[in-house]
Structures are given as C-alpha cells and as structure tokens.
C-alpha cells in the first residue's frame, strides 16, 4: 500500500475513534457537587448582655475551612476524616460567630468601657462511636476580656456532646446545630451569673 493511502487509512481510523469517544462522553458520570450545610436559620435572642461590646470566635487551624470533619473512633482514636460530598457553607468559627451574635445581643451603645467575649474552639467534629452511632462534639473555652483583649476577666471551659438521630452527615449537621444552641445557653447563663455576683464591674 502506498504511503498516501496509509496516511488516509490512519486518518480515517483516528476520526472514527474520536467520534466514538465523543459519543461516550455523556455516559461518563461526574461526581455530584458537595452539599453545603450551615447551622440553620436565624436564632432567637436569649438575652441582651449589658456591657458586652463584641463577640469573636477563633478555632484551631484545622477547623478554619469549609471541610466537614468526622472521626470513626471505633477504628482509630487519632485519625480524622472529611466528608467527600458534604461541606460547611463557611468555616465553623464564622458560622458560630453569627449564631452567637444572634443569641447573645451585644450592648453596642452602652455606657462605660465594656468588655469583649472571645470563644476559642478546640474541636467541632462528628464523632462515630459505632457505625450506627454518631454525636457532635463541640469543645473549647469562652473568655471575657477588656476591650483591648489584654486583661482576662473570666473564662469558661466547655465540652458539649450532642447525639445525632442518624448516622450520616445530615444527622451530624443537625446535632452540631443543637450543640451550638446549647453553647449559647451555657455562655448566656455564665455571663449573667458572673455579672450578678458583682464581678462584672469591669464590663
């Protein structure tokens, strides 16, 4: 066969292969886009805290992102994983800050020097004790400081464990939202008790 004929045959074969691949294109399944979750709708205000000017939430570096973490504790006590198809709509500290500001109304226009609330999050994870048992863990500490953040007025460690009603990401998200609500109630009661004892003069 002549060289020109060989080139035409190769061209025809390549064309058929390309057409075949193009026809198979729609059959190739793409992974679904991750589902985005937040902590639910707006929360009702628990109370207005006199002297509280601002609320700030910080977290450990591995929580400063949209990845949704879980731990299969029945397999490993040290390994943490992230869901492939479920993510947070924002970082946990950002979502917690929004929720806490809704529940704990700040006294922006109050008289006096005022104080700041800083919440440091050490853990925010869905913890699987068994394949069919998961709970949301939220731990860290709440700190009241002066407005410059230089003097600690009071601190409150917290560790909240909220059971989920199912063993999947969505059930873990609902449990995480309830854990945040419980944290708001705990902090509100702590600040109210602290100020009632007369220790809150610095606020």
Residue 12 has pLDDT above 60, yes or no: no
**pLDDT band of 13, cuts 50, 70, 90:** very low
Q: Which two tokens stand for residue 90?
A: 């924002």
Same domain, 26 and 41: no
How many domains would you assign to the chain? 2
Task: Indicate whether 189 and 168 sit together in one domain.
Answer: yes
Q: What is the pLDDT of residue 15?
A: 53
Whether residue 9 is predicted with pLDDT greater than 50 in this model: the reply is: no
CATH number at residue 58: 3.40.50.10610
107 and 187 together in one domain: yes
Q: What is the three-state SS of the chain?
A: CCHHHHHHHHHHHHHHHHHHHHHHHHHCCCCCCCEEECCCCCCCCCEECCCEEEEEEEECHHHCCCEEEEEECCCCCCCCEEEEEEEECCCHHHHHHHHHHHHEECCCCCCCCCEEEEEEEEEEEEEEEECCEEEEEEEEEEEEEECCCCCEEEEEEEEEEEECCCCCHHHHHHHHHHHHHHHHHHHHHHHHHHHHCCHHHHC
Residues 66 and 143 in one domain: yes
Same domain assignment for residues 10 and 74: no
Same domain, residue pair 18 and 51: no
Do 147 and 195 sit in the same domain of this protein? Answer: yes
41 and 24 in one domain?
A: no
Q: Domain check: are 9 and 67 in the same one?
A: no
pLDDT tens for 61-99 read 999 999 999 999 999 999 999 999 999 999 999 999 999
Q: Structural domain of residue 193, as residue ranges? A: 35-202
Same domain, 49 and 148: yes
* 8 and 69 both lie in a single domain: no
Residue 93 shares a structural domain with residue 129: yes
């Amino acid at each position: 066969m002549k060289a020109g004929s060989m080139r035409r045959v190769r061209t025809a074969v390549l064309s058929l292969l390309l057409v075949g691949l193009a026809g198979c294109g729609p059959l190739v399944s793409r992974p679904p886009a991750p589902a985005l979750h937040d902590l639910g709708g707006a929360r009702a205000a628990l109370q207005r805290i006199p002297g509280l000017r601002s609320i700030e939430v910080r977290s450990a570096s591995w929580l400063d992102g949209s990845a949704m973490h879980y731990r299969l504790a029945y397999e490993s006590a040290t390994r943490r994983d992230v869901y492939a198809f479920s993510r947070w709509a924002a970082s946990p500290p950002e979502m917690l800050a929004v929720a806490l500001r809704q529940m704990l109304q700040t006294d922006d226009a109050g008289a006096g020097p005022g104080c700041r609330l800083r919440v440091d999050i050490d853990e925010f994870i869905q913890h699987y004790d068994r394949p069919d048992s998961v709970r949301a863990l939220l731990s860290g500490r709440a700190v009241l400081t002066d407005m410059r953040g230089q003097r600690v007025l009071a601190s409150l460690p917290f560790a909240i464990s909220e059971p989920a009603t199912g063993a999947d990401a969505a059930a873990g998200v609902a449990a995480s939202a309830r854990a945040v609500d419980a944290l708001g109630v705990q902090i509100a009661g702590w600040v109210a008790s602290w100020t009632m004892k007369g220790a809150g003069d610095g606020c």
